[in-house]
Amino acid sequence: MATALLLALTMMGQAPVAPAATPPSDDYGYVAWCFGALGGYVDLYDQVMPEVTRIEKAFPGPDGVEASLKTYPEMRAQARTDMKIFTAAITAAERASPRPISEYGGAAVKKGRSVWTGADSANKARLAQVWMSWSPPGDCETRAKALEKRSNILGKALIYNAVKPVEPAPEPTVASMPEPEAAPPVEQAAPPEPVMTPAPSPAIEVETAIASPQASTKAEFVIDAADPKPV
């Protein structure tokens, strides 16, 4: 635990932990702090392993030196897996937050890494002993998974409630375009009334007929002196 490191190095007179190393109380800050502390643990692996190997050989466990040394690479691999879980939770929280919080998260990561402040100047044997017994708080993974789940739900809610852009109205097709209204009929001038020429009066014809001498319907006899026969 981080508190074990603080207690051990305080007793050595080489406490690497500042008060700012205390994890934040909120889930996002807490998980970011776990990420920083676990990252510092992984980064010290190559530095402490020579001394860890010497200690394991000097004080072998019941299963032997090889079995004991095998656990440290496994612990480093598990730490890297846990850091991926923390990263996923931190990323989900930052995406779901309505305001920028990455700056606050970065500060929390630095607080976590400050757990290992002074490791470069500490006694190798004592630092190796503290490193061998350290592990992140047990609720780091639990709170990280809960944070990621809650953030994903919140993120979906924010997307759902976002104002949707107004889609432009579709352009009318030929089939949907209204037919143009028929133009009102143009009023035409009435055709001129025909001029009636009056027929000639029958009286005139009668008079004309009377005035014109007609041949008599009765046979007329002309006496030819040469030929006294009637024609």
Of 65, 84, 206, the residue nearest 144 (C-alpha): 84
**How far is it, in rounded angstroms, from Cα 38 to Cα 134?**
10
**Beta carbons of 130 and 70 less than 8 angstroms apart:** no
**pLDDT tens per residue across span 155-208:** 776 555 555 555 666 665 555 555 656 555 555 555 556 555 555 545 444 344
DSSP 114: G
pTM passes above 0.75: no
Name the least confident of 41-50, 134-143, 196-205.
Answer: 196-205
Please state, rounded to an integer, the average pLDDT across all residues of the chain.
Answer: 76
**Beta carbons of 120 and 131 less than 8 angstroms apart:** no
3-state class (DSSP) for residue 37 = helix
